[in-house]
Amino acid sequence: MKFFSNFFSALSNCFKGFTLIFGKGLWPYLIYPLFIWLATWLFTILSFGFLANAISNYLSFESIPESGHWLSFVKPFLTSGFFALLLSWVLKIIFWFVSATFSKYILLIVLSPLFALLSERTDEALSGNKFPFSFLQLLKDIGRGILISIRNMLFEFLFIAISFILGIFFPPSIIITTPLLVFISWYYTGFTMLDYNSERHKSRAGDSIKFIRNNKGYACGIGCVYWLFMILPSFAGDIVGLMFGPALAVIGATISYIEIKKPSHL
């Protein structure tokens, strides 16, 4: 299938970024994301963890009558310690997605100028195209990057909200909604990275949205690499992930964009 072919092509393109980072002097772009992401992640993950516990403790099903209520037949389960534990973990998983998504988009918005420049430099190194510096164009790139990030964040939060509601009323649904939310996160992350190229090549936002929808496999593959680096375990893993995840995703998106537009170029 085209989707899976494009998905694995995007994975390969992202890992080609190692050669460009160290061979073309792009390594400074590895450093900047660390400080912003760490600050927002620590704040949100701690805040939402406390909130999840507070909500699970607040919700009480003891007031449900033994009969006559539409939930009466499941009251023994709803008032059990097992359900309280399950609900707490469902809320923590949902809030983890909220905090991770919020941190991700803060990073994408604040570092939008940096990612736009990295994408431009990658394009120049690969295609030989020259993009003379224009402060006005940079402002346009920043503005569009922020708007696209906000758009994608709102869509992602919509899916999280739907999963949250399902998880409250039917906790086992988390088995389905969790991998679905991961997949959605991949898509919208890759979407943001690919749009830097569309903006640089003067594509309108509507045309860019259509272009990326037609190349979902590439978007998901790019987002997957970003996600894989960002979930590396241990403190050292966090540092490596923060350094390489965003940079490889931006570079992979640029390589993929050139590959889509000019298949014979690479």
pLDDT at 188: 93
pLDDT at 121: 87
Instruction: Please say if the pLDDT value at position 237 is more than 60.
Output: yes
pLDDT at 78: 54
Mean pLDDT for the chain overall: 78
Query: 26 in a domain, yes or no?
Result: yes
120 vs 39, residue with greater confidence: 120
Query: 42 in a domain, yes or no?
Result: no
Instruction: Please say if the pLDDT value at position 189 is more than 50.
Output: yes
- 140: pLDDT confidence band, cut at 50, 70 and 90? confident
Report the domain count for the chain. Answer: 1
Question: What percentage of the chain has pLDDT greater than the value 70?
Answer: 70
pLDDT at 253: 95
Q: pTM for the complete prediction?
A: 0.72
Query: 53 in a domain, yes or no?
Result: no
Query: 76 in a domain, yes or no?
Result: no
Q: Which CB contacts under 8 angstroms, 24+ apart, belong to 255-260?
A: 255/13, 255/14, 255/16, 255/17, 255/122, 255/126, 256/9, 256/10, 256/13, 256/194, 256/215, 256/218, 256/221, 256/222, 257/194, 257/197, 257/198, 258/123, 258/126, 258/127, 259/9, 259/13, 260/215, 260/218
pLDDT at 10: 95
Instruction: Please say if the pLDDT value at position 257 is more than 60.
Output: yes
Mean pLDDT value of segment 13-28 = 86
Mean pLDDT value of segment 201-219 = 90
Query: 110 in a domain, yes or no?
Result: yes
Query: 66 in a domain, yes or no?
Result: no
Domain encompassing residue 153? 2-33+93-261
Query: 207 in a domain, yes or no?
Result: yes
Mean pLDDT value of segment 163-170 = 79
Query: 88 in a domain, yes or no?
Result: no
Pick from 30-44, 74-88, 227-241 the range whose average pLDDT is largest: 227-241
